[in-house]
Chain A
Amino acid sequence: MPFAHDHLLGIEHLSPGDITTLLDLAGQYADMGRGGAKHSDALAGLTQINMFFETSTRTQASFELAGKRLGADVMSMSMQASSIKKGETLIDTTMTLNAMHPDLLVVRHPHSGAVDLLAQKVNCAVINAGDGRHEHPTQALLDALTIRRAKGRLHRLNIAICGDIAHSRVARSNIILLGKMENRIRLIGPPTLMPAGIGEFGVEVYENMQEGLKGVDVVMMLRLQRERMDGGFIPSEREYYHRYGLDAEKLAYAAPDAIVMHPGPMNRGVEIDGELADDINRSVIREQVEMGVAVRMAAMDLLARRLRERQSPPGVMV
């Protein structure tokens, strides 16, 4: 199935077929990553610019490595330190970079919708690396690939997403993706960390973690986004850990072969028990990081193919 998107802005725009296409290709890149020769030239001659308006270590590194493994010329810019500080608008900064003819722009921004806005103004492919509390599509895709490899399928699974749903773009993208692939989704967390109107999302909501975890196949923990807190969402970290932190006792309510996931970076002892996070029999957190590179390679590869098609329509010799 051809991948007919110019940008990857959110899971919302993808069909189940698109998701499968992406994951299949990512699976191949994951295998390549484990082999000796990790290099391909799918993006040879193309320029990739990573624009991060919000700090990131793992996502930025993952995109950078993915681009390099595919042979792109990669430049990473930390936008917080640059012209934005001098009062330049997002669009002006974007147009400036666009004038340097990049082929792929990877963008993270603290405001929801900022990446959509930027994508309307440029003529290269744009990948959303996280916008505000809206979407983080490559994270949801790497989670999906991790689940598919661990569970052998990506449908009809009981999946619990736990913690700070309200502030999490990872949760949004995952709810959309896992819903599209016909899984049963449970959201677990204190009501202060649940977004409004959650009842209309086609998910089950639990305030009691033990109850919510009963029999689930996948436990997805979210980072407690302390830097996003206006204050007053939870009484204290220790009370949060007591009620919503994942430990062996709570995990015992899930299916015996349930896997534990976390998008990182983890707050050990706040949302997840340190030992559990390191338990190679239950935790697939390391594999998530590995799949991250593979999924980003696949996404950039598919967008680059599309880009080349657009630049030289079929039948036209260049």
Chain B
Amino acid sequence: MTHIHITNARLIDPENGTDTLGSLTMADGVIQAVHPEDSPQGLETGTQVIDARGKCLAPGIVDIGVKVCEPGERHKESYRSAGLAAAAGGVTTMATRPDTLPAIDTPEVLEFTRRRANEAAPVHVLPMAALTKGRAGREMTEIGFLMDAGAIAFTDCDHVIQSTKVFSRALTYARAMGALVIAHPQDPGLSEGAAATSGKFASLYGLPAVSPMAERMGLDRDIALLEMTGARYHADQITTARALPALERAKANGLDITAGTSIHHLTLNELDVAGYRTFFKVKPPLRSEDDRQAIIEAVRTGLIDIISSMHTPQDEESKRLPFEQAASGAVALETLLPAALRLYHAGALDLPTLFRAMSLNPAKRLGLPSGRLSVGTPADLVLFDADAPFILDRAKLLSKSKNTPFDGARMQGKVLATFVDGHIVYEAP
């Protein structure tokens, strides 16, 4: 087994909340030693030594909610292209979404995706499965069989299960299995047909819009069902200030609930859509600046646990349409880290806090040992230069789809190397 020793690194440890210089040794796929100072003595012969020159070494990102378009739309993204993009973006584990064509709702389809993923992707891929068949919100999937086949969590993605009866039964059954359910808190009535967040901006642009209240209503409903069923629940994206008090109360009441948000809702707001730029169309729609600030603060305090890329590849054709008709979603595996570093450079969040939300918390929620800088845990790591400036060129993305809202944006932060199970899976050119 290869041994790799990284010296002179800025160690970002989200578990201890520290950001200190030191060195780290990985061997046999795990972190073998972490030293506060450099201690090159005692290294096994043949150990590869990497001088980090003071750059950052953090646990690799665990990204919940990545869409890989297999099966069905491999021209948009394959396990190979998504895996390479993830490695280049410092993402060492992708929890992939089942909103494919067909949906991943049977053990057979799940096994196919796992096989494809293992062959093609250089990072860990943990497939999620649909909670209801065809994501149609009527009958629950074979949660037990799907778990046996390796489903890490259950979600109908952006489809809200409208029937509370169906959802409560699925939650109850999932609880008995110990399965994690991920939902999209949104009132389906209010949000129907919406392409923007209601307010001055959407009104000026004449776009059908949804009140931010729809998110709170969706969350309130789900929380009530959690009280009823006791299920393990994660809200995929909380993006509005109004939903936060409900989340806080639910956590205080001891419910098994966590919440995520997307990198786009943390770094962009509704005004970015100006000129009907469809690459900024995401679901839920981008929010006001006040909401964005409130969500950043919630990540800082830990009320929002997890930051996800919500990587959603779309081809040019589905975006080159009038805004209302254009598809939602943005690719983000490769921009997640530099976009998150905007919050660091703006002084809003420190690096341990960012990696708590991107690595530690998602790993914990999925029951994974990774996401930490502790001895004995998997050597899934990202080495990056937090300051290196660059201008993003979407043509250079490794994702098959290039629908990023950051095309031409000035960004800071480059991945230098990504390690999965102690092996280098990406090295900056």
Q: List residues of chain A with CB under 8 Å of any chain B CB.
A: 12, 89-91, 109, 111-114, 116-117, 131-135, 166, 169, 172, 195-198, 200-201
A91 to B318, CA, bound (A): 12
On whether the beta carbons of B321 and A198 are closer than 8 Å, the reply is no
List, in ascending order, chain A residues with CB within 8 A of B321's CB: 89-91, 117
On whether the beta carbons of B322 and A113 are closer than 8 Å, the reply is yes
Q: In chain B, residues 188-206, which have Cβ atoms closer than 8 Å to a Cβ of chain A?
A: 198-206
Known: A117-B276, A197-B199, A197-B202. A111 touches B209 (CB 8 A): no
Instruction: Pick from A90, A111, A133 the residue with the most CB of B within 10 Å.
Output: A111
Cβ distance A262 to chain B, nearest Cβ, rounded Å: 21
A197 to B276, CA, bound (A): 19
Q: List residues of chain B with CB under 8 Å of any chain A CB.
A: 198-207, 209, 211, 275-276, 317, 320-325
20 extra interchain contacts, Cβ-Cβ under 8 A, other than A89-B317, A91-B321, A111-B325? A90-B321, A91-B320, A109-B322, A111-B322, A112-B205, A112-B207, A113-B206, A113-B276, A113-B322, A116-B275, A117-B322, A132-B324, A135-B206, A196-B198, A196-B200, A196-B202, A197-B199, A197-B200, A197-B203, A198-B203
List, in ascending order, chain A residues with CB within 8 A of B198's CB: 196-197
A131 to B323, CA, bound (A): 11
For residue B276, which residue of chain A has the nearest CB? A113
Known: A112-B324, A114-B322. A196 touches B209 (CB 8 A): yes
On whether the beta carbons of A169 and B206 are closer than 8 Å, the reply is yes
Describe A's contact surface by its main secondary structure.
Answer: mixed
Cβ distance B212 to chain A, nearest Cβ, rounded Å: 10
List, in ascending order, chain A residues with CB within 8 A of B322's CB: 90, 109, 111-114, 117, 132
A189 to B321, CA, bound (A): 33
List, in ascending order, chain A residues with CB within 8 A of B324's CB: 111-113, 132
Cβ distance B175 to chain A, nearest Cβ, rounded Å: 38
On whether the beta carbons of B199 and A133 are closer than 8 Å, the reply is no
Cβ distance A118 to chain B, nearest Cβ, rounded Å: 9
On whether the beta carbons of A200 and B200 are closer than 8 Å, the reply is yes
On whether the beta carbons of B323 and A113 are closer than 8 Å, the reply is yes
A91 to B317, CA, bound (A): 10
Instruction: Pick from A113, A135, A195 the residue with the most CB of B within 10 Å.
Output: A113
A-B contact pairs, 16 of them (CB 8 A): A89-B320, A91-B320, A112-B207, A112-B324, A116-B275, A117-B320, A117-B322, A132-B322, A134-B205, A134-B206, A135-B206, A196-B203, A197-B201, A198-B200, A201-B203, A201-B204
